Amino acid sequence: MGSTLAILFLTFCTCYLQIAGAEPQRLSTLKLNSRILQESIAKQINENPEAGWEAAINPRFSNYTVGEFKRLLGVKPTPKKELIGAPIGHCGSCWAFGAVESLSDRFCIHFDVNISLSVNDLLACCGFLCGSGCDGGYPINAWRYLVSHGVVTEECDPYFDQIGCSHPGCEPAYSTPKCVKKCVSGNLLWKKSKHYSVNAYKIKSNPHDIMAEIYKNGPVEVAFTVYEDFALYKSGVYKHITGVELGGHAVKLIGWGTSDDGEDYWLLANQWNRSWGDDGYFKIRRGTNECGIEEDVTAGMPSTKNLVLEITDAGADAVDGASF
């Protein structure tokens, strides 16, 4: 157990995204059809005294090929102008999960409201403004959608893929769901179920600025480059050791700490279910921009819009039921 300064903020998520300038190398058909989990890679890491982390053949990806794994990491470069400023199953929707679940956490932190917001709303309804739906998206644009359109609750619009990835390769890949704008429950109204972010912003890449943001406001969404060895992560403080670049990934950054060996790390949660990594979590080296983890950090503050309406409605009900 490391001496952890980690600030843990409730729920967590991982995400599939399109990150700045990430254009993974083209791989041969032979490589794409090979298994993502290689004993040789695990051995190379575990026999390296400088690695600082443990690799394992994780059952989560035991039947995945490199090509199938890459589907979770679809990448499109972020427009240059932007550089200035539940298991995901069959759909590459992590960019949406990262934003929505970070905002959900921030509602709890700032307003003491335990609410689960809808990833499906953002994924289905943001359209080309956010990217390509199940084929990837831009985190900062996801946050901007949360400002302009908000998202309904999970109860109103649950995630469309309830099957998940319990079978090999997660086939078939699903298309982006249609934007319906109607709650599945007849007792809920779409507009009244909307919850918003006040703003959408990027945090400077300085680790101290990132830590200050998490400490003050809660989890943030971060993007980083995934290499082949990351799929084998089991425990310890990850840093890239071996394997080809596969694509971009987004996760929720929830805290930080220092290991027993004195290595600074970020603490993150990944939604490749609890059998992957350290009970679904992972640590990555802090302060060196490992795999670009400190380059693309996005967030937003929760809005009271519709929260006030909920309080007002509750107050009205209390008045209606009162005896004078």
Q: Which among 120, 156, 249, 291 is annotated as catalytic?
A: 249
Tell me how crowded residue 252 is: count the other CB atoms within 10 A of its CB.
26
The CA-atom distances, in angstroms, between 210 and each of 83, 147, 255, 287, 289 are 17, 21, 10, 10, 12
Q: Is 249 a catalytic residue?
A: yes
Q: Which among 94, 126, 183, 291 is annotated as catalytic?
A: 94
Q: Which among 120, 270, 273, 291 is annotated as catalytic?
A: 270
Q: Is 94 a catalytic residue?
A: yes
Half-sphere exposure of 72 (CA within 13 A, CB side): 31
Active site residues: 94, 249, 270
